[in-house]
Amino acid sequence: KAGVTQTPRYLIKTRGQQVTLSCSPISGHRSVSWYQQTPGQGLQFLFEYFSETQRNKGNFPGRFSGRQFSNSRSEMNVSTLELGDSALYLCASSTGQFTDTQYFGPGTRLTVL
């Protein structure tokens, strides 16, 4: 089975712009979670989508949003980028059962200048 894929792998944007990141889960997985990883804050949960519905949400401002499509692929959008949004954005997929393992993609490295 193919693993979780994320595109693009690297992005450079300037402050004020917006960005969309994409995540394709493992085939058969219906849950996609997004995380932000920074050296200072570690791994922070952004949100989780399950069957096209946002099931959980972390403590991030409304500039961070996401969606999930009928094929379980997910996108994450960040509007009005700030310097502090520079991070590695990771997505993880699972079947959606709470005991199930989340499998991570390689991440998208976002740099905001």
Partner 1 sequence: AQSVAQPEDQVNVAEGNPLTVKCTYSVSGNPYLFWYVQYPNRGLQFLLKYITGDNLVKGSYGFEAEFNKSQTSFHLKKPSALVSDSALYFCAVRDPVNTDKLIFGTGTRLQVFP
Residue 80 C-beta: closest distance to partner 1, Å: 25
- Quote the tokens at residue 106: 């390689």
Residue 68 C-beta: closest distance to partner 1, Å: 16
Residue 109 C-beta: closest distance to partner 1, Å: 8
Residue 4 or 112: which CB sits closer to partner 1? 4
Residue 11 or 17: which CB sits closer to partner 1? 11
CB 66 within 8 A of CB 34: yes
Query: What does the binding site for partner 1 look like in residue numbers (CB under 8 A)?
Result: 4, 6, 33, 35, 42-43, 45, 48, 55-56, 58, 90, 92, 98-99, 101-107, 109
CA proximity to 28, closest of 108, 107, 103: 103
Residue 38 or 80: which CB sits closer to partner 1? 38
Cβ neighbours of residue 51 under 8 Å, at least 6 residues apart?
30, 68, 96
Order of strands, edge to edge, in the sheet holding 74-78? Answer: 5-7, 19-24, 74-78, 64-68
